[in-house]
Amino acid sequence: MICHTPALITTIHEEENLFIGYKVNSVSPIEEINIEKLIMKGKPKKRMIAKQLKKLGLKYERGGPGKNFSTRDRNLVTSQNPFSGESFNELFLDLLSKY
């Protein structure tokens, strides 16, 4: 899951959510606003993805804004932003090689 997509985890009902307790990351709060406003040319929404993930019981990790940062925990690979392709690919390919 890349950038904003880890927010999908927050849509799974808590009692059915297999990812609770996993290490995860997503777009940081600062990046969330900047990406939506400057890159996507839209009106940013305060989704607070990181806060929602933590509230749900996931262990949120992050690199600095604009950094190449990804996390893998078991079968889940998440990356922070569009600049995280290199670290995401490395972790994802390693995961695939184990299956």
HEC assignment per residue over the chain: CECCHHHHHHHCCHHHCCCCCCEECCCCHHHHHHHHHHHCCCCCCCCCHHHHHHHHCCEECCCCCCCCCEEEECCEEEECCHHHHHHHHHHHHHHHHCC
* Host domain of residue 62: 5-97
- 24-43, pLDDT tens digit by residue? 999 888 887 777 777 767 66
Residue of higher predicted confidence among 46 and 63:
63
pLDDT range class, residue 65, cuts 50, 70, 90: confident
Total domains in the chain come to 1
* pLDDT score of 84: 94
Model confidence at 44: pLDDT above 60: no
Model confidence at 71: pLDDT above 80: yes
CATH number where 68 lies:
3.40.50.880
pLDDT range class, residue 46, cuts 50, 70, 90: low
